[in-house]
Amino acid sequence: MSPADPAPEPAAGGPAVRRPQLSVTLRNFAADDPGSWAPLVAVAEAADRAGADRVVVVDHVVFGESLDDYGRPEVGGTAGGRQPTGPDGHWLEPLTLLTYVAARTTRVRLATGILVAALRRPVVLAKTTATLDVLSGGRLDLGVGVGWQRAEYDAAGLEFGRRGSLLDESLELCRRLWTEPVVHLDGAGPLHQMPKPRQDGGVPVWVSGRSTNARVRDRVARFGAGWIPWGDDAADPTAGIARMRAALDAAGRSGDVLQVTTSLPEEPARVAELVAAGVTDFRFRGSLPGDPRAAEEAVADAVAFLAESAG
């Protein structure tokens, strides 16, 4: 069992259940230049001290000017969604940031949620993530998705229409480079890449997408330690979890092992319902105080709230 997989606890009369985890979303972006990113790092350090399980950052490499596409489900956005900054917003590259955060923390897990992974060359992505996992002591979780913005794929010289296939190819090569001593590829090989990640089986991958999308279900079945619901599933993950678990069962992999994340609700009863449905990770997305001590107290309160609500 990897550090990403919270230890199952026995449930009377039923299957083992995991202790639900708390993730803290770090705002690694700003509409305008914040002048200093020190408060962001202070929040990560506060989350580490206060007992949060994970800190999560997001990704954009470059922006075009068609930001309304974020609200278009047919291109990968979410209905009614709105991009949080304009094209000149300031976005820190997530893997670089998590490397810095790793050096300033000791126990909290480090996650992308999501990384538009196909924008990075797969062999370099495998090397970068393995390095971060080694240096952090096996604390990396790689949340991935296809993204919604054509301009990023155009800028990288990639076909936007192939973004799903590109992501699958990237994940397959990463997994092989993380786990196989020697990798043989058509037109290249034998290939050696060391060091391997610290975690057994390589870096845990969390796949983002809709449960109604067959490609997403297949991607979760092939690569996913966890699932990041998107669109309607993010608004109400219960039905989506049932669909995703059924897809895993059909693929010969137990759906009960799937980790699933959603936003932390304010109502204790709703937390208990989501845990019963299969949610294993709750993301605290609220704004935290700039003062490190106050931020630590707020995270500690969220940790206690989740533990009490989940029973």
3 inside domain: no
- Maximal CA-CA distance, the chain: 56
What is the tens place of the pLDDT at every residue in 191-240?
Answer: 999 999 999 999 999 999 999 999 999 999 999 999 999 999 998 899 99
What is the tens place of the pLDDT at every residue in 153-204?
Answer: 999 999 999 999 999 999 999 999 999 999 998 888 799 999 999 999 999 9
Q: What's the CATH code of the domain at 185?
A: 3.20.20.30
In angstroms, the Cα distances linking 129 to 22, 120, 175, 188, 211 are 22, 11, 11, 21, 27
What is the tens place of the pLDDT at every residue in 280-299?
Answer: 999 998 888 888 899 999 99
107 inside domain: yes
161 inside domain: yes
**Structure token pair of residue 259:** 């980790």
- The beta strand positions in the chain, using DSSP E, are 8-11, 14-18, 21-25, 29-30, 54-57, 90-91, 109-115, 140-144, 183-185, 188-191, 205-209, 224-229, 259-263, 281-284
Number of domains in the chain: 1
pTM of the model: 0.92
231: containing domain:
8-310
pLDDT at 187 (0 to 100) = 80
